[in-house]
Amino acid sequence: MPDIDFETRVQRTAENHLNACNEAFFDEESDERPWYGPYDGCDTCVVREVLMSVWDDFRAEARREARVELGLDTPDDWVLPGGAVIDDSRVRLRLHPPPDWTRLILEIPRTPPSMNNNEIRSHWSGFHEHKKSWQSEIALLMMANKLRRGGYRRAVAGAFMRFPDRCVRDSGNFESLLNKALGDALVIAPDMPTEQRYIPDDDGQHYFFGGVEVEDEPGPTRTQIYLYLQPKEN
């Protein structure tokens, strides 16, 4: 929907144009002809002049809203990590969440263990213990950032990971644990009332994890979770 500023502006434009048409029409000595077509003050003339005077404004507003809906008018870093590589220069497909969603970047100074880790691969309890640790840390960061419980319809997320070396790593080996830890942190607990969770559920209708992406440049180990949430009022 157009905002109030836009509506006020086009209304003022139409009123000014209509006033100019009426002044020129009733001033027999005026040579000005500001109207777009034959004008005698009838209802048909008034409607035509109003529409024509703001036509370009409405077209521009429609293009702007379409770009917003498509996620085209967003900052360069308003992206979901984990997009597929589509050529040899490592260009990635990128999902751009809607610009009116809430974004939270959660940074943790470590990376999740790989699924190739023997402790995780040998028994389900190893995965569970690491998942609980990450879930707790993510939950604390959400609280520190004052994320509103019950305030969001759904969430989409992904993560960047940085390592101190340039070793090639399979990002999929880090994805499952982080995906599960974040999803569980968003719903807080299985028996938590829906209205007290950050999102109603971590099913496919309310939660999507786009994947994990390893940063090109090495540096101190870290994980950056990009979390986008749709506010309930949207």
CA neighbor of 200 nearest in space, from 213, 186, 217, 181? 186
Give the pLDDT score at 234: 54
Tens digits of per-residue pLDDT, 188-228? 988 999 999 999 999 999 999 999 999 989 999 999 999 99
Residue 111 is inside which H or E element, if any? Answer: none
Distances (CA, A) of 127 to 99, 171, 172, 180: 35, 17, 15, 10
Q: What is the mean pLDDT of each run of 10 residues along the chain (234 residues)?
A: 71 93 87 90 93 90 73 72 82 84 95 78 76 95 93 96 93 92 94 93 96 93 96 79
Domains with residue ranges and CATH for the chain = 4-69 (no CATH), 102-231 (3.30.1330)
Cα–Cα distance, 118 to 19 (Å, whole number) = 80
